[in-house]
Amino acid sequence: MTIRLGIHPSVGRIFPPSLLQSMLSDAEATVDLTNERLDASESFNGLVTFGYDPSFLDAGLDWIHVVRAGYDEFPLDTLRDHEITLSNSTGIHGDAVSEAVVGYLLQFARGLHRYRLHEPDHEWNPPAWDDTFTLDGESVCVVGLGTLGRGIARRADALGMSVSGVRRTPTPVDHVETRYGPQELLDAVSDVRFVVVAVPLTDRTEEMVGAEALSAMRDDAYLVNVARGPVVDQSALVDALRSASIAGAALDVFEEEPLPPESPLWEMEHVVITPHAAAATEDYPNRIAALVRENSRRLAAGESLANRVV
């Protein structure tokens, strides 16, 4: 099978589509940039994309590759009906996102986020004796133990933290001392200093961290969300932060992105906001190119695709 691969302009939300095109010059495919809307007359049978457009359905595609791990905006049943295979980019974000999570944890423990606030006023602002702590000896619960969760658990363990996790199956995971099932979430989050959310957005995980889970957390605990915004009930989170029923939050993802300027989260001292940037790394295009190159080869050879979702 000859592969004619298109690169959709939405890829440009992460890196230049033309960069990926040149990196794929050795792939078993001809590679061209596409328009926003696809047209069947262009005869692409594969597409690399960040976002979804309904024109993908009737363009004669056999395969769509999403350049990120989350694929919650893609209509899986409809793709199945149109016999379009979907693959995603899970497996390549572990290092970047886990290092970002270590950064969030260290900021809160060592109070680093606060000093930055005083720099514009050239203000020397030492911490109170009880404002800071060390990660060594602290505890973290990682909700979701896939690529991200395992990378976070490994790093937290290396920092001397006690690591627990929430996962659907009870099998052991390296670097995780205690495991809970999703029904035990409230127990899992109730006695840890940090809760890190790393599950995909699905019907079951939407608002998984809501008012109940937030109120089960300790008042000196921090929430970190690197998954998807709707996994956390954002208005319940704002309430929990306002009432100081938790100590703070680091958020890379939001119910609405970009986070609107009027969101109260922007004003909160103990909230660290990053613009869906935890996975960003200069090596990202290389990692995507390797996945696409391998799946182009497999498609041409009639083999089943890696990271297949549908």
Query: Using CB under 6 A as the criterion, which residues of the chain lie in contact with ligand NAD when the complex forms?
Result: 69-70, 90, 93, 97, 144-149, 166-168, 182, 198-202, 204-205, 226-228, 252-253, 276, 278-279
Query: Closest separation between CB of residue 239 and ligand NAD, Å?
Result: 23
Query: Closest separation between CB of residue 13 and ligand NAD, Å?
Result: 12
- Of all residues in the shown chain, the one whose CB is closest to ligand NAD is 146
Listed residue (288, 281, 269) closest to 98, CA to CA: 281
Listed residue (25, 107, 50) closest to 289, CA to CA: 25
Between 147-158 and 94-110, two packed helices, what is the crossing angle to 10 degrees?
A: 40
Output 59 or 209, the one with its CB closest to ligand NAD: 209
Residue 216 neighbours by CB under 8 Å, 6+ apart? 186, 187, 189, 190
Has 270 been annotated as catalytic?
A: no
Query: Closest separation between CB of residue 161 and ligand NAD, Å?
Result: 19
Output 47 or 145, the one with its CB closest to ligand NAD: 145
Query: Closest separation between CB of residue 89 and ligand NAD, Å?
Result: 8
Query: Closest separation between CB of residue 33 and ligand NAD, Å?
Result: 24
Output 134 or 178, the one with its CB closest to ligand NAD: 178
Catalytic residue among 184, 212, 257, 303: 257
Catalytic residue among 8, 155, 228, 287: 228
Output 144 or 248, the one with its CB closest to ligand NAD: 144
Has 228 been annotated as catalytic?
A: yes
Catalytic residue among 65, 155, 193, 276: 276
Query: Closest separation between CB of residue 258 and ligand NAD, Å?
Result: 14
Residue 3 and residue 300: Cα distance in Å, rounded? 6
Output 6 or 285, the one with its CB closest to ligand NAD: 285
Output 44 or 254, the one with its CB closest to ligand NAD: 254
Positions marked active-site? 228, 257, 276
